[in-house]
Amino acid sequence: MKVKWGSVLKNSNCETKVDVCSNYHSTIEFIGRKWMGIVIYTLMSGPKRYHEILSAVPGISDRLLTKRLNELVDANIVNKQYLDSSTKKVEYTLTPSGVALKEVIVAIHHWIEVYEWEQNK
């Protein structure tokens, strides 16, 4: 059973253990996509334009950043606001559900520091 990110946020009262595992798994998979966490982390300091995010995330391609931002907008974690319709200037900000992820991301960062975890140990 594939669960969409939006349904995880809207339906936090899972009825069965299987639902909890499915929702948890889909959420972790979504946040754990390549570059997703660092894009969210970059926006935690405030609104950013596309090139500001691109500069803050070394190694990400234009194509993948665009894809990740669109996925975050679709999941209602990031808001895309057009600043000027004639030049198509865009600014990205975290939505309330995106801001709520700050605690999760900070906790993961703290866990990494405390346990000096590296994937390839």
Give the domain ranges of the chain: 32-115
Distance CA 66, CA 54 (A): 10
Backbone phi, psi, residue 75, to 5°: -85, 0
What is residue 120's DSSP assignment? Answer: T
- pLDDT of 74-119, one tens digit each? 999 999 999 887 878 899 999 999 999 999 988 988 988 888 776 6
- Which are the contacts of 73, defined by CB distance < 8 A and separation ≥ 6? 79, 80
CATH dotted code for 32-115 = 1.10.10.10
Whole-model pTM: value is 0.76
E strands in the chain:
48-49, 78-84, 89-94
